[in-house]
Amino acid sequence: MFTTSFWPAAAAYQVSMMDLDAPENLSPKALQTIHYCLRLTEAINQLEAACESRLLDALREEMSIQCFRLAPLFDDPDTRRGLFLRAEMLADDSCGKKVLPQIAGLNEQQLVLGIGNTSTWVGKSRQSFYSSWFGEPAPVLQEVSDVMDSLFPESLLYLQKEIAADLLAMPGCAYKIINLFGIAGEANTYPKHFAYFFPEDEGLKYSPVKRTVVFANTYQQLFELFSRTEAARMGWTEGMLPDSQVCQRYLIAWFRGHDLGHSLVRNENVFPALSKIDRWGSMMVQEALADQFGLLMCLTPQVAAGLQLDRIVLARIYFLEMLRYLRRGPLSYPDAGAAWIQFNYLREHGCIDLSAETLDFHPDLFYPQMADLTRLMSEELLSGDAQRAQAFMLQYCPHNHPEDVDILMARLGTTNDMIEYNQLIKRVPL
């Protein structure tokens, strides 16, 4: 068992504080109840690790009652319904199969929440622990994501033309963008995550309805704290990146593209078979493909025009995010492994120049090379030939080249930067 809530293990961590503002639109009673639920979550989370007891059952029941009490404090029908369904689920978790897909199908306008056992992200472990999180829908960013959705047919045609004519989309999942304002339990450990996949992260792997919930303010903060800082370190001038809110639009457009990119296959879904050969490798290449499909979707002429995405700005933001992911440690996270695959490909082909002192990025070479890499991966990984897929993973995935990982990470430095939330809702008296 881990002896600290920090992960991955490191000799030192750099912790940056991030304020989570208490929303102004919620009633004092609602804020007070949510504050209470956060405290209750911590108690349940701590007690569950120690023992199973009647006290725990009583606390879990209390949480259900609080959701029932919260529901009438909201006017929006889906927010109310979400609270009633959550209360039902907390009162009897055997009804998850019925209730969780209904929650994933909601479109709340006032409050989005999750309470209950949630996946830990530590080492892709399958364990889950008690958590809760609360957020307000973010309508302006939701619109960016909705544009990506509405233009997905055009994006698919674009990818069929650019990458593989037989690409097809499996059923995808909905996307809900919120600003987080309260979080407790496992979901509030380290590192902070800005996206959860429901109901999978609540333990229901197969669901007819799914949705990704994105904490937009956390995502923005990660970019601002770490990616923008990295840009300054590389000597980029301020004018090379737009302001924070514009960057946030790019990030959401690409990240929704990434999510949609997970649904793209050729002929059939080959990943369950690849997972049996090499689970880590399969997760990494899936993340890399989703990243790349998401990026290329942003180049679809209708998307770029509709969301006013500048190619050079997008390339720079993507590069910085790739670097941020990579520096988290390519052996610790599948998405960092995905960044490893892309970074090394771009480096081999001259888009990235890395010397002992300098790191240079050439945006003009970026798109042709990312398209080449995507065609290569689509051919090697998605064509249904397990041996070719395995050969690709052996050649490109970091866990098959630990000595190369050591060398590159010694040069780039593994980041141990963490966010800690300052939750202003905790000032609301109980």
Q: Which residues bind Zn ion (CB under 5 A)?
A: 287, 290
Contacts of 173 (CB under 8 A, 6+ apart): 104, 197, 209, 210, 211, 212, 259, 263
At 352, is the secondary structure helix, strand, or coil?
Answer: strand
Q: C-beta of 287: minimal distance to Zn ion in Å?
A: 5
Q: C-beta of 259: minimal distance to Zn ion in Å?
A: 7
Q: At residue 332, what are phi and psi to the nearest 5 degrees?
A: -100, -25
Which residue lies nearer to Zn ion by CB, 230 or 287? 287
Q: C-beta of 357: minimal distance to Zn ion in Å?
A: 33
Spell out a b/e string for 22-34, using b for 16 or more CB atoms within 10 Å of the CB, else e.
Answer: bbeebeeebbebb
Q: At residue 343, what are phi and psi to the nearest 5 degrees?
A: -60, -45
Which residue lies nearer to Zn ion by CB, 151 or 283? 283
Which residue lies nearer to Zn ion by CB, 158 or 325? 325
C-alpha angle 11/13/15, rounded to 5°? 165
Q: C-beta of 291: minimal distance to Zn ion in Å?
A: 8
- Sequence-ordered strand ranges (E) for 313-378: 352-354, 359-361
Which residue lies nearer to Zn ion by CB, 32 or 275? 275
**Alpha helices, H only, 262-310:** 271-277, 279-297, 301-306
H or E stretch at 20: strand 14-20
Which residue lies nearer to Zn ion by CB, 54 or 205? 205
Q: C-beta of 255: minimal distance to Zn ion in Å?
A: 9
Cis peptide before 8 (omega within 30 of 0): yes
Q: C-beta of 290: minimal distance to Zn ion in Å?
A: 5
- Contact assessment for residue 180 and residue 217, using Cβ atoms and an 8 Å cutoff: yes
Which residue lies nearer to Zn ion by CB, 202 or 287? 287
Which residue lies nearer to Zn ion by CB, 186 or 287? 287
Residue nearest to Zn ion (CB): 290
User: Shortest CA distance to 184 belongs to which of 100, 272, 265, 116?
Assistant: 116
Q: C-beta of 278: minimal distance to Zn ion in Å?
A: 17
Q: At residue 241, what are phi and psi to the nearest 5 degrees?
A: -125, 140
- Contact assessment for residue 297 and residue 367, using Cβ atoms and an 8 Å cutoff: no
Which residue lies nearer to Zn ion by CB, 214 or 323? 214
User: Shortest CA distance to 340 belongs to which of 401, 390, 419?
Assistant: 401
- What's the distance, CA 245 to chain centroid? 19
Q: C-beta of 260: minimal distance to Zn ion in Å?
A: 10
Which residue lies nearer to Zn ion by CB, 256 or 327? 256
Which residue lies nearer to Zn ion by CB, 76 or 200? 200
Please give the structure tokens belonging to residue 203. 């333990």
Please give the structure tokens belonging to residue 167. 């690409």
User: What residues pair up with 177 in beta bridges, in sequence order?
Assistant: 214
Q: C-beta of 210: minimal distance to Zn ion in Å?
A: 13
Q: C-beta of 25: minimal distance to Zn ion in Å?
A: 31
Specify the DSSP class assigned to residue 268.
B
Give the Cα separation of 264 and 159 in Å (integer): 10
How many angstroms separate the Cα of 23 from the Cα of each of 27, 133, 185, 423? 9, 14, 21, 11
Q: C-beta of 318: minimal distance to Zn ion in Å?
A: 15
Give the Cα separation of 285 and 281 in Å (integer): 6
**Residue at 400: amino acid letter:** N
Which residue lies nearer to Zn ion by CB, 44 or 156? 156
